[in-house]
Structure 1
Amino acid sequence: MSENVRHVFDTNTLVSAVLFEHSNPGQALRRALGRGRVLLSASTLEELAEVLQREKFERYVTAAEREAFLIAFVERALFIEPTEEIRACRDAKDDKFLELAVSGKASYIISGDADLLVMHPFRRISIVTATAFLQATEEESTEE
Structure 2
Amino acid sequence: MIQTYGYRPSSTRPAIQHGRWRREKAAKFEVVVSEPLLDELLEVLSRPRIMKVWQTTVSDAETFVQMVSAVARLVPVSGGLGICRDPDDDVLLETALAGRATYVVSRDEDVTRDIELVRQFEGQGVQLITVSRFLLRRRPCSCWVM
TM-score (norm 1): 0.73
Q: Does 1:39 align with 2:32?
A: yes
Q: 1:56 to 1:66 in 2, by over 3 A?
A: same
CA contact (8 A) 1:109 1:126 kept: yes
CA distance 1:84–1:90, shift in 2 (3 Å): closer
- Matched with 2:47 is 54
Which residue among 97, 107, 111 is the counterpart of 2:102?
Answer: 107
**1:81-121 deviation line (CA, Å, top 9, x unaligned):** 12683121222221001110011100000100011112324
Contact map agreement 1:84 1:103 (CA 8 A) in 2: no
Question: Would the aligned equivalents of 1:18 and 1:66 in 2 still touch at CA under 8 Å?
Answer: no
- Once the 2 structures are TM-superposed, how far is the Cα of residue 58 of structure 1 from its aligned partner? 2.3
Identity, % of aligned pairs?
26
Mapped pair 1:120 → 2:114: no
2:77 match: secondary structure: coil
Is the contact between residue 105 and residue 134 of structure 2 (CA under 8 Å) also seen in structure 1? yes
Aligned to 2:84: 89
When structure 1 is superposed on structure 2, of 39-48 and 86-95 the one drifting more is 86-95
1:50 is displaced (CA, Å) by: 1.3
**TM-score between the two structures when normalised by the length of structure 2:** 0.72
Q: Do the aligned residues in 2 keep the contact of 1:39 with 1:78 (CA within 8 Å)? A: yes
Q: 1:77 aligns with which of 72, 76, 80?
A: 72
Please, which runs of 5 or more residues in structure 2 have no aligned partner? 141-146
Distance 1:87 1:33, change over 3 A: farther
CA contact (8 A) 2:104 2:129 kept: yes
Higher relative contact order (CA 8 A, sep 6+): 2
* RMSD of aligned alpha carbons: 2.6
Q: Is the contact made by 2:2 and 2:105 (CA closer than 8 Å) also made in structure 1?
A: yes
